[in-house]
Structure 1
Amino acid sequence: MMIILCFITMYPFLYVLFASLSDPARVAMHRGLLLIPLGFTLEAYKAVLDNPMISTGYQNTIFYVVAGTAVNLLMTAIGAYALSRRNVYFKDFIMFAIVFTMVFHGGLIPTYLVVGNLGLLNTPWALIIPGAISTFNLIIMRTAFQQVPISLEESARMDGANDFTILFRVIIPLSMPVIAVMVLWYAVGHWNSYFSALIYLRDRELYPLQLILREILVNNNTDSMMTGASTLDKIDVGETIKYATIIVSTLPILVLYPFLQKYFVKGIMIGAIKE
């Protein structure tokens, strides 16, 4: 049963992989399951990697992932630390106000107006600053920080440590599983995000990879990758280019995940248990 479930789960990705490596004409005529590549060619990948917008999108996305995840972790950790301390005034009300935003929020237009009034439109920071803290991740990290023994904080204060020293040298090193989970969630969120870029960015040089992928898949914009091909060839090759683009945009996350997998379940359990 598990083998069947694994096959069902993996088959869509395997289909895309096999189709991207197959002969375009044979893929266009094929119907039904695709269990092996139909022929073998890397022309689709060559066309994708030769597209300057793909390389620009990759560079932009890497910046958004690295800078965005760093900002996310810093802001979430500071907020979670403050809300997990026992001597903070009005923390229950503040926590209620934060959780309230998970159910009720201003919506797209007020958010767009705020981003515009802050001068962030058509800048990379429009994709980083507005979503600096995820409420759900803040709750998980706060719960994890609450489980660190209070005696460690008291000992650090007796040695002259301030709050920032306690956070970065005591709390965070003891909470690395949940930190690893936050890195994975925030990084994957930035990598897969395209709607914010669609709303806030106008300069194509700032587009992330997923927005380029959207143009290729949704708008069927593959002509720039197939110069010199006939109309029929463009239709056939265009399909394999779409599959190759999906593989190219998905591969980095698939490579990253195994290194963080060992922390994933442990981090979720730490953040899910309430004293």
Structure 2
Amino acid sequence: MTTLLEHEKDPAGPAPRTETPLQRALRMEPRPVWEEEPTKAGLAFKGVGLVAICAIVIVPIWVVLVTSLSDTKTINKAGGLVVWPEHITFIAYKELLSGGAVTRAAAVSVGLTVVGTVVSMVVSILCAYGLSRRDSYAHRPLLMTLMATMFFGAGLIPTYLLVTGIGLSDSYWSMILPSAISVFNVLVLRGFFMDTAPELIDAARIDGAGEWRILLQIIMPLSRAVIAVISLFYAVGYWSQWFNAMLYIQDSDKYPLQMILRQLVLQHQVPPGAMGAAVSSGAINSLAVQMAVMILALIPVAVLSPFVQKHFQKGMLTGAVKG
């Protein structure tokens, strides 16, 4: 009776309640008839597999971090890599960031990453947009030519002769221009650009918009996901670059951070200066220095990846399927 009276007083009925995640999960549609219910053994196997995969990823990073924060006594006691810290010290990072060769190399890597990513994205976006317009000049021959370079390359020696022949030897551009464009990234961008609704482009052309305005105000704002993902790919590539530096750079002051890391880890060469004297005197363990440089090289990628992670599925899958 009370419920009926209350309903008569309030014709609109009770206010809708906010649905909890549990209620949404219970309201989900049942599994298809061909999909089996997960068994306890299957769920346990998946859980163990996920834990094992996480351990494979996390444990090496943990060991590298702990070793970089350990003193010489702890490293000598462990016989190398340290699994559990005993005496935490930041002396390795202090020496690395005190203005020596590693600090200069880190600045070079940051500059190469920023400039190289901008150059690569500008070239890739312009190329992908031109190839995404089927009425563009020489559309099919240019596309086939680009795709052929994915399977057939000139080789290392012709590339080296070309780079040195045009005067790029021992310059920062020798680490940018030879790898300025990736055909795979261009094809992904092209596929995403082709997915743009043609009605929007036709309406813009009717309003008098040119190709530059269509690209800058319509195509690129709708393609933020794929642009973010491709920018991360290029940035990681430039940040991790060392091979071009080894080929074309003779001045050690122009070495990127990865080249210094290669000297430390593979060649066991400590950069000259205060850090080299500290390693020679035993104040800093050379293994701690190597691990500290690894952590410094890993930080930018680890920081940027979570911000772009949400765009990976939309950016890569849509562009790849459409392309």
Q: Structure 2 stretches of 5 or more lacking a match?
A: 1-47
1:97-136 equivalence runs, <5 A: 97-136=145-184
The structure 2 residue matched to 1:192, chosen from 236, 240, 247, is 240
Q: Secondary structure at the match of 2:89?
A: coil
Distance 1:57 1:31 in 2: 30
Q: 1:242 deviation in Å?
A: 0.7
Say if 1:228 and 1:209 are closer, same or farther in 2 by CA, change over 3 A: closer
**TM-score normalised per structure 1:** 0.93
Say if 1:42 and 1:107 are closer, same or farther in 2 by CA, change over 3 A: same
Distance 1:83 1:228 in 2: 56
The structure 2 residue matched to 1:91, chosen from 139, 145, 156, is 139
Distance 2:202 2:215 in 1: 13
Q: 1:110 deviation in Å?
A: 0.8
Q: Residue in 2 aligned with 1:179?
A: 227
Distance 1:51 1:221 in 2: 18
The structure 1 residue matched to 2:211, chosen from 163, 166, 175, is 163
Say if 1:72 and 1:46 are closer, same or farther in 2 by CA, change over 3 A: same
The structure 2 residue matched to 1:21, chosen from 49, 69, 72, is 69
**TM-score normalised per structure 2:** 0.80
Distance 1:121 1:81 in 2: 32
Distance 1:251 1:76 in 2: 26
- Give the percent of matched residue pairs that are identical in Structure 1 and Structure 2: 37
Q: Residue in 2 aligned with 1:255?
A: 303
**How many residues get paired?**
273
Q: Residue in 1 aligned with 2:254?
A: 206
TM-align CA RMSD: 1.9
Q: 1:33 deviation in Å?
A: 8.3
Q: Residue in 2 aligned with 1:227?
A: 277
Question: Larger Rg: 1 or 2?
Answer: 2
Counterpart amino acid of residue 142 in structure 2: I
The structure 2 residue matched to 1:38, chosen from 86, 111, 121, is 86
1:139-158 equivalence runs, <5 A: 139-158=187-206
Q: 1:117 deviation in Å?
A: 2.2
Greater mean alpha carbon deviation, residues 258-267 or residues 142-151? 258-267
Judge conservation of contact 2:105–2:255 (CA < 8 Å) in 1.
yes
Counterpart amino acid of residue 227 in structure 1: A
Q: 1:51 deviation in Å?
A: 5.2
The structure richer in helix per residue is 1
Counterpart amino acid of residue 92 in structure 1: R
Q: What CA deviation, in whole Å up to 9, does each residue of 1:220-267 have, x standing for no partner? A: 112631425666x37x71111111111112112211111111112221
